[in-house]
Amino acid sequence: MSTVSELLSQAVAQLKQNESQADDANADAGLLLGHVLQKSSAWLMTWPTKEVSDFDANYFLKLVSKREGGTPLAYLLGEWGFMDFMLKVGPGVLVPRPETELLVELAAERVPQAANWKILDLGTGSGAIATALARLRPNSRIHAIERSQDAADIAQSNFDSLAPSVKLHWGSWFEPLATSDQFEIIVSNPPYIAEYELELEYLTEEPQEALVAAEDGLADIAHIVENSRPHLKESGWLLIEHGYGQGDAAQKLFTDAGFKDVETVLDLNSLPRVTLGRWNP
């Protein structure tokens, strides 16, 4: 049998073989062993000489090999933090990114606490945005749409445990809506990476349909801007996350479509990340 510290050293040495992950080797090894043993990182530090059963050790080393091969840590842990909660995640969904918290905050700050507004999250994926909005604004009615069945299953399971009031609809963008369905706020983190972007080399494990869009990455943003108009109430807001190089293009799509008060907001890294506008104010 191996001890906690022996297993961690073995894992760190293995993870460092993959250069792109070397910086995270210590943290990843600790999180994976903690996950297998159901213990905190503080426990691992306190008990370096504790023996780990061969069964647990083998499972841990299998996860380490997958991580070394490029599987996102979030998929191996089966859950990932977003805002102040843990979401279930898996190979069918994009792992929630910290910059998407900006989109949630910008949407939430437009909704009065007591208001009973209708809010729509398009392409909800794991359900991160809809869950966060339901928790921040429990008096509002949150709807989420998702096209991928795998993602919809994960989203529904997150709504069941974290935000049971969210209503999930299955389909592509606005398809599941009736013509008369209107919202005070529509939000989306659509795919926005162009097919030729080099960063896709590092994103091979996540669903490409959640990442890549045609027309320089702008096709889905353009579709949403165009088709959201009949589904926005008077003075309703549309907020869309995009790539840091797409701020000007997104603003043009919004203004050409007739949106007012159009603005692009910078994320924590001071990069243009969310464009928003108002319909018929």
Residues that bind ligand GLN (CB under 6 A): 94, 97, 189, 191-193, 203, 211
Minimum gap (Å) between residue 25 Cβ and ligand GLN = 21
Q: What span, in angstroms and rounded, lies between the C-alpha atoms of 86 and 65?
A: 24
* H-state helical runs in 38-113: 41-46, 54-68, 73-77, 100-108
Minimum gap (Å) between residue 33 Cβ and ligand GLN = 27
- Is residue 138 exposed (0-12), middle (13-18) or buried (19+ Cβ within 10 Å)? exposed
Taking a C-beta distance cutoff of 8 angstroms, is the pair 210, 261 a contact?
Answer: no
Closer CB to ligand GLN, residue 115 or residue 268?
Answer: 268
Query: Distances in Å between the alpha carbon of 133 and those of 102, 140, 142, 154, 157?
Result: 12, 9, 7, 17, 16
Beta bridge partners of 169: 145
Minimum gap (Å) between residue 94 Cβ and ligand GLN = 6
Minimum gap (Å) between residue 4 Cβ and ligand GLN = 33
Minimum gap (Å) between residue 206 Cβ and ligand GLN = 8
Closer CB to ligand GLN, residue 203 or residue 222?
Answer: 203
Closer CB to ligand GLN, residue 137 or residue 273?
Answer: 273
Minimum gap (Å) between residue 73 Cβ and ligand GLN = 14
Minimum gap (Å) between residue 193 Cβ and ligand GLN = 5
Q: In this structure, what token pair is assigned to residue 74?
A: 């979030």
Closer CB to ligand GLN, residue 183 or residue 192?
Answer: 192
State how beta strands 51-52 and 260-266 pair. Answer: unpaired
93 CB contacts (<8 Å, ≥6 apart)? 125, 126, 148, 150, 151, 154, 155, 206, 207, 210
Closer CB to ligand GLN, residue 36 or residue 95?
Answer: 95
Taking a C-beta distance cutoff of 8 angstroms, is the pair 109, 177 a contact?
Answer: no
Closer CB to ligand GLN, residue 4 or residue 221?
Answer: 221
Closer CB to ligand GLN, residue 26 or residue 207?
Answer: 207
Q: What span, in angstroms and rounded, lies between the C-alpha atoms of 81 and 83?
A: 7
